[in-house]
Amino acid sequence: MRRVPALFAAIAIAEACSWAALLIGMFFKYGPVGDEIGVRIAGPVHGALFTAYLAVTVVLARVARWKWWVTLLALACSVPPFATLVFERWARSRGLLTVAEPEPVPQV
């Protein structure tokens, strides 16, 4: 579980890069070239990274014990282009990308 924050950061960056690739592919598909190969490649890659970002966000929210609104914000940032980068930097600056210490077991 200690690797979850690093995995979250890597997937957040990769998801943003896949957004860029998809936007470039869309430019070539709907622009003057009319070639959709970029969308055919970047579309599924972005879809997989989008799904991975959602999954790792839920896992990190549990292990880092995020408040509900932080989790909701992280999930919402998966939709606008490049917002995962903004959220990752914001969360890192506030110390939210650390695994919470386990709760102590009561002694009987």
- Give a three-class secondary structure readout of 23-42: HHHHHHHHCCCCCCHHHHHH
Rounded to 10°, the helix 83-93/4-30 angle is: 160
pTM: 0.88
The length of the chain, given as a count of residues: 108
The string of pLDDT tens digits covering residues 43-101 is 999 999 999 999 999 999 999 999 999 999 999 999 999 999 999 999 999 999 998 77
Whether the CB-CB separation of 32 and 45 falls below 8 Å is answered with no
**C-alpha angle 90-61-73 in degrees, rounded to nearest 5:** 50
Distance CA 16, CA 9 (A): 11
Summarised one tens digit per residue, pLDDT across range 25-58 is 999 999 888 889 989 999 999 999 999 999 999 9
Look at residue 99 in the predicted model and tell me its pLDDT.
84
Residue 106: what pLDDT?
Answer: 76
Predicted pLDDT of residue 42: 95
